Structure 1
Amino acid sequence: MRSVELFAGAGGLAMGMGRAGFDHAAVVEWNHDACETFRFNQRNHTEGVEQWPLYEGDARDFDYGTVGGDVMVVSGGPPCQPFSLGGKHRGHMDERDMFPQAVRAVRELQPKAFIFENVKGLLRQSFTSYFEYIHLQLSHPDLTRRKDETWEKHRARLERYHTSNQASASYNVVYRLLNAANHGVPQRRERVFLVGFRSDLGIKWSFPEVTHGEDSLLRDQWVTGEYWDRHRLAKRARPVMSPRLATRIARLREEPVGIIQPWATVRDAISDLPDPEKYPRNKIPNHVFNPGARSYPGHTGSPLDEPAKTLKAGDHGVPGGENMLLRPDGSIRYFTVREAARLQTFPDDFVFQGSWSETMRQLGNAVPVRLAEVVSASVANTLRAAGHARAAKRVRGG
C-alpha cells in the first residue's frame, strides 16, 4: 500500500506507518537536521528507513505529479507550533500553519484515506472556529479558497455547501484526542488525530480501543507487586505509598482484574541503559549526559515509576521540567536523546543527528512510533478488508 508522508519531522509517524505495512512513495520534510538523520540511517541500513524516498524542502513546493501511481494514504503532522501550548498561539494567523498544504495533498492525490496528527492545543476553545474550518476543508478538499477570500468567508461557504449537500462530502472525517500512555507508550502524551476515508468506499471505521491503563499499573505495583519484582527492586528501594494512593489501592483490591494492560513507565523504558552521568564513556548512540537541569514550580521532572510527562520541543531550546528525569532520591537530570527516543518508542538503531537541543526539539514535536503504528495499522486493516470485499463482490458479479 503506497503512501505519502508530509511534515515527517523526527519520523515517528512515518516509521509507524511503515510498520503497519505502508510503503512510502515520498517523505517530505524541510528541516535539514531531520533529513540528515534520515540519510544517516539510510546509509546505515536502518530497517524501515532505508528505502524512504526523501524530499528535503518546503511542502508548499512539492509536486505531487512526481509521485506517480495510486496513493492509498496521505499522512503527516502539519507543524504544530501555531497551536501548541508552548507556542505563540497564533493559529491560522501563523505562517507556520501547514494545514492548507495537507488539504492540497488530499485534493491532488485523492487517496483512499488520510491520517493527520497534531498537538492537543488544536482543540482549545480559542481555536474552535479554525478547527471546524480544517475539518470542513478535509471533508471537501475540492472546494478551494478563492483569491482574496478570507478563511472565515471560505468556512461559511463550506458550511453552506456541507449542510445542503451532506451526502456529497468527498471524505468522511473523524477526530479524537488520544493519550499515548493508553496504547503502551511510556509517556502521558496527548495528540489529536484526524482520520478520513474517501466517502465512495463506504468504509465504517472507529479509533482503536484503549489497551493500557493506570489502574492496571497501580495493581501491578501495589496489589500484586509484580512490577517491582520484574525490576528486581527490594522493598527498601521502592517508593512509599501516599495516604491518598492507599485509598485508591484499597478500592483496586476489591475490583476484578480486567484485561487492560498496565501503563508503561519511565523505568520500563530506560532501566537497562547505563546512567550517562556515571558512565559518560558508554558507547550507546545519543546517550550523552547534559548538565544544567533545574527544577522549579510546575517543572519537576518525570518520576521513574510512572509514564513520563509530555516531552516538549520548547520555543527557545529545551524546557527544563518537561524533559527531565526525577530520580527516587529527589535529584534531577535531563533525559538523554536516547532516553527521550525510548520514551517516544523509537528503536535503538535509529540514530539522531544534530545538536542536542535541535534533536530534542524534533523529539518534542514527534508522534510516538507505537501510537502511530496503532492508528495506522487499524486504518491499513480496514482498507485491506474493504479491498477484499470489493474484489469478492466483483467475482460474484462476474
Structure 2
Amino acid sequence: MKSLELFAGAGGLGIGLHDAGFRPVNVIEWDSYCCDTIRENKARGLHAVKNWKVTQGDVRKVDFKPYNGKIQLVSGGPPCQPFSLGGKHGAYDDVRDMFPQAIRAVRETRPQAFVFENVKGLTRNSFRNYFEYVRLQLEHPDIKAKRGEDWANHFARLEQHHTSGNRAGLNYRVVTQLVNAADHGIPQKRERVFFVGFREDLAVSWHFPLATHSQDALIWDQLHGDYWDRHQIARKFRLCPKGSDRVSKQDKPSERPWRTTRDALFGLPDPEFEHENSAIILNHRFQSGARSYKGHTGSPLDEPAKTLKAGVHGVPGGENMLLRPDGSVRYFTVRESARLQTFPDDFLFHGSWGETMRQLGNAVPVDLARVVGESVAEHLPRTAA
C-alpha cells in the first residue's frame, strides 16, 4: 500500500508503518540532520528505508495534488513545539504549527486514511478548543478557511457544517486517542495523542488498538514471576515495586508486563566501563557530564523509561539519563535511546550526541507506529486508492 510521509524526522513513524505494509512514495522533512540520518541508512541498504524517496524542504512549498487518488495513507508528526509541555505553548499563534499543512495534504491527496501523532500537551484544557478545531478540519478538510478569516471564525463554520448533517464533499471518520506507549510494549512511559481517520465512503468501523501491556502485570512479574531471575539479579538487589499492595499472586493480570529500561538495554555493554565492547556497537559511546537535580533524576532500571525529550535547555534538560539502583546516573547513549524508541539496532543516527538525541526525542516509537499501522492496514481495501 502506498503512503505519503510528512514531517518524517529520523523515520520512526515511517519505519513502523513500513513494517505494517505501507510504502511511501515520498518522505518529506525539512531538518538536514534528520534527512542525513535517513539518507545514510538508505546508502547502507537498511531494508525499511532503502527505497524511500527523501525530499528535504519546507512542506508548505509542496504541491500534494499529483498524489490525488494514488495513495492509501498520509502520515506524520506535525512539529509539536507549539503544544509541548516543555515548549512556549504558542499553539495556533505559533508559526511552527504545521497542522494546517497536514490538513492540506489530506484535502489535496484524498487518501483512504491518515495517521497523525502529536504531544500530550495538545490535549491540555488551554488548547482544548484548538484540539477540536484540528479534529473538525480533519473530518471536513474541504471546508477551508476563507482569506483573512481567523481560526475562531473558521472553527464556528466547521461546527455549523458538522452539526448540519451535510456530508457533501470529502469527509473522514476520525478517532483521537491519548496513548501511553508503555501500554503497547514500548519500554518508555511516553504519552502521545493520535489522530486516525478513514475516508467516509469506505464505511470503516475502527477502534484504536487495545493495550497489550500493563503496570500491574509488571508488578506481578517482579513479585511472583521470573523478572529478576531472567535478568540474573541477586536477591539482595531485588526491589519491591511501587503498587505491590494492589496485586495478588492469585490475580495474575491478563496483559503482558510493561517492558522496563533493563529489558530494553539487555545485551548492551555498559559504555562507561566496557569501552572496547561498546565501541563495536553503532552509536553506543559514553557521554560524560550527567548529574541529577530537581526535576531531572533519570529513569530507574526496573520501570519503563521516562519520556525521552528533545528539549531546548541543554540536552533535553539533562533528563535523558539512566538511574542506577545505587543512585548514580549517566546519560543514555544514542543506541540505548534508540532501543527505548524501538529503532532497529542497525539503524545509524547521523550527527553529534546532542543532535541525535534531539532526533530521538522527537521520534515516534517504531513499534508503536507498527501497531497502529497494522490495525489501519487491516481495515483498508487492497485496491487502488
Sort the TM-score into its range (normalised by shorter chain): over 0.9
Q: CA deviation at 1:254?
A: 4.9
Q: Using the alignment, how far apart are the partners of 2:259 and 2:246 within structure 1?
A: 22
CA deviation digits over 1:218-267, x for unaligned, max 9?
1111123x00111111212323x27xx4xx43542254223200000000
Q: CA deviation at 1:183?
A: 0.3
Matching residue of 1:249: 244
Aligned partners of 1:143 and 1:158 also within 8 Å: yes
Pick the aligned partner of 1:275 from 246, 270, 273: 270
Q: CA deviation at 1:143?
A: 1.0
Matching residue of 1:308: 305
CA deviation digits over 1:93-152, x for unaligned, max 9?
110000000000000000010000000000011111111110111111111111111111
Please tell me whether residue 58 in structure 1 is matched to residue 53 in structure 2: no
Q: CA deviation at 1:167?
A: 4.1
Q: Using the alignment, how far apart are the partners of 2:26 and 2:97 within structure 1?
A: 21
Q: Using the alignment, how far apart are the partners of 2:16 and 2:48 within structure 1?
A: 9
> TM-score with structure 1 length normalisation?
0.92
Matching residue of 2:348: 351
Aligned-partner residue type, residue 264 of structure 1: R
1:342-381 residue pairs with structure 2 within 5 A?
A: 342-381=339-378
Aligned length, in residue pairs: 381
CA deviation digits over 1:272-313, x for unaligned, max 9?
111111123421111111111111122110000100000111
Aligned partners of 2:68 and 2:111 also within 8 Å: no
Matching residue of 2:4: 4
> TM-score with structure 2 length normalisation?
0.95
Aligned partners of 1:295 and 1:320 also within 8 Å: no
Aligned partners of 1:28 and 1:55 also within 8 Å: yes
Q: Using the alignment, how far apart are the partners of 2:244 and 2:124 within structure 1?
A: 34
Q: Using the alignment, how far apart are the partners of 2:368 and 2:179 within structure 1?
A: 9
Q: Using the alignment, how far apart are the partners of 1:175 and 1:356 within structure 2?
A: 34
Q: Using the alignment, how far apart are the partners of 1:310 and 1:26 within structure 2?
A: 29
CA deviation digits over 1:316-344, x for unaligned, max 9?
44124430000111100110111000000
Matching residue of 1:383: 380
Aligned partners of 1:303 and 1:325 also within 8 Å: yes
Matching residue of 1:171: 172
Identity of aligned residues (%): 59
Q: Using the alignment, how far apart are the partners of 1:140 and 1:311 within structure 2?
A: 34
Q: Using the alignment, how far apart are the partners of 1:69 and 1:132 within structure 2?
A: 27
Task: Quickly say closer, same or farther: Cα 1:125–1:333, change in 2 above 3 A.
Answer: same
CA deviation digits over 1:161-216, x for unaligned, max 9?
11112544611111000000000000000010000110111110000010000111
Matching residue of 2:16: 16
1:141-290 residue pairs with structure 2 within 5 A?
A: 141-165=141-165, 167-168=167-168, 170-224=171-225, 226-239=226-239, 241=240, 245=242, 248-281=243-276, 282-290=279-287
Matching residue of 2:46: 46
Structure 1 runs not aligned, ≥5 long: 391-398
